[in-house]
Amino acid sequence: MGGTMRAVYLALIATIAFVIAAGAPAQAQQPRVTGAQIKWYGVYAIGKSETIADPTSATGTRFSSGGFRLLGGNTDQIPLSDGTRFGFAFSLSGQPRTGVADIDFVQFYPAPGIGGGAAGAASRRWSRTYHFALNRDDLVIGFNLGDTKGMPEGIWRFQVVHKGRVLAEKSFTVAQP
């Protein structure tokens, strides 16, 4: 191999090595969600809550809440009573420890669904994507029944999903007390 050809060949190898090495840290930084574990489920109370107008929600609003505490122990039997809040708390694990991942909250409602009225047709499904730090143990997916007029009885199912993979799921039977 001539001197010029050898120099081009070595430069090509160095460039390929640089591209591979430069790409490796970027791949290593991509968050990898390894799981979610349900900590408790059932009826809960909150310490604080903020109502947020949300036209994409089946009810036209959503809540940002904190200070969750389970009332009366784990249960999947939920009374259809005004103001009842229910759902589940879970922990989220993954790598790197300081990573942030897109997590979908998905809720399924029994027929005829919820909402409607001014918002349009009743909905049997709701979902929203949140950006959560990994390795948290203070997350909750839930629902506030609020005014129960028109709320359906039956099986309500809540899921925590990452990239199409269900990480945690719980079904609740909502019925008149």
- Per-residue pLDDT tens over the stretch 14-51: 434 333 344 444 455 689 999 999 999 999 999 887 88
Ranges in the chain, pLDDT < 50: 4-26
The pTM score is 0.76
pLDDT for position 115: 84
Q: In which residue are the tokens 């460039």 written?
A: 15
pLDDT of residue 118: 60
d(CA 110, CA 154): 6
- pLDDT at res. 49: 75
76: how many CB neighbours lie within 10 A of its CB? 15
Say what the pLDDT of residue 135 is. 95
* The pLDDT of residue 57: 66
| pLDDT value at residue 83 | 94
pLDDT of residue 1: 53
**Which of the 8 DSSP states describes residue 117?**
G
Residue 2's pLDDT is: 58
Distance CA 6, CA 10 (A): 6
Alpha carbon 69 to its chain's center? 19
Distance between CA atoms of residues 158 and 28, nearest Å: 31
Q: Is 169 helix (H, G, I), strand (E, B) or coil?
A: strand
Encoded tokens for 87:
């759902």
